[in-house]
Amino acid sequence: MKKIGIIAGSLRSGARSRQIAAIVSSMLGEGAKVIEIGDLTLYNQDLEKNPPAAWTAFREEIRAQDAVLFITPEYNRSIPAALKNALDIGSRPGNQSVWDGKPGGVISLSAGKMGGFGANHVLRQTAVVLNIPMMPQPEAYLAGIETILDGNGALKDEGARAFLQSITEAFINWIERF
């Protein structure tokens, strides 16, 4: 069974990306785990002499995964700062990146009609530099996220459920290649 780390890009407790991460984790099954990024202080190379415990734990957690799936909202046509920070922390120190060669995927979401298109592609651009082979197809954009989830974070849209199930199946097929 593959171990799949799932990272939600938003830190807010009621964030839709966290809710989708929980849903996708259950779809992926026993090997899937949502990995927290909220306790990571901002990356500062000076701290590498004695890295914060949260950095070390995060790096070990990502290193232990066979693959990683990012669930991200779009902030100003990009990814949230917390997600970029997690990517940076995992990529350091030089030549010790926990991301190197680890297959990945991205599901982006937004309240608007573009489904986080900008965030999805910014994350893919960063993944190239970090050598995270990202699942190329199918691309996953969740538009109108407020209409897909109910007030408790459960899916209320059966089309979205079927779509997420197809994405998780494609992702499993993608990571089996590695």
pLDDT tens digits for range 31-40? 999 999 999 9
Share of the chain above pLDDT 70, in %: 100
Q: Which domain holds residue 54?
A: 4-176
Tally of structural domains, the chain: 1
The Cα 158–Cα 15 span in angstroms is 20
Output the pLDDT for position 47: 97
Output the pLDDT for position 16: 96
pLDDT digits (tens, 9 = 90+) for 46-99: 999 999 999 999 999 999 999 999 999 999 999 999 999 999 999 999 899 999
Output the pLDDT for position 94: 85
CA 177 to chain centre: 19
* Count of Cβ atoms closer than 10 Å to residue 173 Cβ: 10
Max intra-chain CA distance, the chain: 50
The Cα 36–Cα 71 span in angstroms is 12
Cβ-count burial 34-48 (b if 16+ within 10 Å, e if not): bbebeebeebeeeee
**Would you place residue 121 in the very low, low, confident or very high pLDDT band (cuts 50, 70, 90)?**
very high
How does the average pLDDT of the chain come out, rounded?
96
CATH code (residue 37): 3.40.50.360
Check if the beta carbon of residue 164 is closer than 8 Å to that of residue 17.
Answer: no
Amino acid symbol at 68: V
Residue with tokens 């004695």: 50
pLDDT digits (tens, 9 = 90+) for 100-114: 999 999 999 999 999
pLDDT digits (tens, 9 = 90+) for 149-177: 998 999 999 999 999 999 999 999 999 99
Nearest CA to 108 out of 118, 94, 95, 93 is that of 118
